[in-house]
Chain A
């Protein structure tokens, strides 16, 4: 049998049929739904007079629009409220399971899938949200889709997809002090650009990846889309099985053993061919931060913004536009730059390990007087766990505000926004113009770097602190 990549194995197991000169019909095992990209799809089903093809393969939550304060009260903003209500109405009408506001399982769609044991190795998963790539950390094919495709999956449990090329990114070695998984992915994207992965599905491999926890792996796969890749995946291993075991919807007992036996076959064969292979050394990676308006514009915190001469002639106009927006100078260092906002949250970095990392760092310290620091847990379950561990108290003592779960200031669809012209060091995934609010200037970094910035009131290298 021909050698196969992990991606090929999972893809091939889901092809219902192939269309000559066209895409494959791919079966989708799990469809996650949220309020922003689903209403037009539900309306499409109604128009066609059909229902969902497989209700049990579908799960919904409300996350993008929800407030992060007083979630027990009606949503104040009318349009947000209407969209969240529309989701409830649609889920009721069509019989879709909904973990809406107030439900103990509510949270960011890419946080709740894994924590509930819904996300499993070897499955196909889609959602009308580009960060669906997160779930690839389990060795699943998971990717974001548009609303017409949401309707396709609702109507048929299938998607028409052209098979992407495959890329392997290997990170070998040991991570240095103060360097965490967010730094790995920001480093990779800074090397290959925000378009470097377009047309590819990426497998992350190598000893540095293997040594990461599941939550750290999710952070990496989450940002695969930020290099343009359709998705990212990591072969499942003992760390994966251990994480899944006992979770709410994971297979149990003999089914679990059967599942693990199957999951153990999900790896890239030794002589499998990738269309592209990139290799990096973990030792070369330092704490990272972005300076521009796409996630590829990243540097070592201790480094410098590129000089104009280092940028391709064709890209200079965009580079200048970006620095103008950020009010930064080419060649400048960011160290010491005053920042007034720190946002810790989003589907990239809002899990319990992220909150623990921040709490451990800020324990006994205080945020700087100029800083507004928000911590938004990824789900009700993360919030509950944080409170059980006393993380809420540690954060409160340090002057950080722990709020209720949702996407929040990652994209500013609710009232959590960064004011015009202000800098925000954010653990989210996108530093696009206006992403965190009109005129807001976002610098992406790890939760550890964000915590260090919060206690310093300015950009610092987290390695200047005593780290355990």
Chain B
């Protein structure tokens, strides 16, 4: 996994609540057997019409926000299906951070497992970002994982965010969980010897 460093970037504002993973990547695009290439279908049905022409009013088609590495979305982002393809599509499209006032649990785990940082902010902070980006399309956010701090650049508005120490270490160093779990194989095998379930289905 790629190591996470501090990021300063213009943003992609998407002020919609309850964005589910079916919108992020519709089911008909889940048929690939590799992790690559999902970015082109990110928000497919919001981004393109039936003739595959870009919809002008959708934020990902707006050149004002081009090159953004931070997606900012309304509360309860990533709800619904557990498809990790949603996190793959977002990272494949160049994003490193998603900011929202609330994330669905499975999406949050999937994001963290792919070096995509979900930053949960207060509703007030989120509203401020959406407000300010209307006046300044080039509004930038700075996200510092080490300090667990997110800031609206040049506006002196900042907030701290939560992440557990273990996941933080993984992101900063590019570790993944399997390396760790394989290193405690003895403990797993010892657990199995005392497992009630395993004794019942033997």
Where the two chains meet, the residues of A that have a C-beta atom closer than 8 Å to any C-beta of B are: 13, 16-17, 19-23, 25, 27, 29, 36-37, 39-40, 43-44, 48, 50, 53, 64-65, 79-80, 82-83, 86, 120, 122-124, 128-130, 144-149, 151-152, 155-158, 160, 162, 164, 194-195, 198-199, 225-226, 228, 230, 249, 251, 255, 258-259, 262, 294, 296, 314-315, 317-318, 321, 411-413, 420, 430, 432-435, 438
Q: How far is the CA of A226 from the CA of B21 in the complex (A)?
A: 12
**Given contacts A149-B113, A228-B79, A156 and B188 within 8 Å (CB-CB):** yes
Taking the nearest CB of chain B, how far is it from the CB of A22, in angstroms? 3
Interface size range on B against A: 35 or more
Q: Is the CB of A43 within 8 A of B33?
A: yes
Check if B84 sits within 8 Å of A148, measured CB to CB.
yes
Chain A residues positioned under 8 Å from B167 (CB to CB): 22-23
Q: How far apart are the CA atoms of A255 and B199 in the complex, in Å?
A: 9
Task: Report B33 CB to chain A, min CB distance, Å.
Answer: 4
- The listed residue (B33, B102, B110, B165) touching A198 by CB distance below 8 A is B102
Would you give 26 A-B contacts (Cβ < 8 Å), ordered by A?
Answer: A13-B196, A17-B184, A19-B166, A23-B167, A29-B197, A36-B30, A39-B33, A64-B27, A64-B30, A83-B31, A128-B82, A130-B81, A130-B82, A146-B109, A147-B35, A148-B110, A148-B113, A195-B18, A230-B106, A294-B20, A314-B17, A318-B74, A413-B30, A430-B80, A434-B23, A434-B45
* A22 CB contact (under 8 Å) in B16, B35, B123, B164: B164
Complex CA gap A362/B122 in Å reads 51
B66 CB within 8 Å of chain A = no
Q: Tell whether, in the assembled complex, residue B16 and residue A318 are in contact, meaning their CB atoms are under 8 Å apart.
A: yes
Please pick, from A82, A262, A438, the residue contacting B45 in the complex, using a CB distance under 8 A. Answer: A438
Inter-chain CA distance A186–B191, complex, in Å, is: 39
Q: Please tell me if the beta carbons of A23 and B31 are within 8 angstroms of each other in the complex.
A: no
User: What residues of chain A lie closer than 8 Å to B123, measured between beta carbons?
Assistant: 314
**Nearest neighbor of B169 in chain A, beta-carbon distance:** A22
A-B interface, 10 closest residue pairs, ranked by CB to CB distance from nearest: A22-B166, A146-B84, A21-B165, A39-B33, A146-B110, A148-B113, A79-B31, A144-B82, A156-B181, A195-B76
B residues within 8 A CB of A79? 31-32
A27 touches B191 (CB 8 A): yes
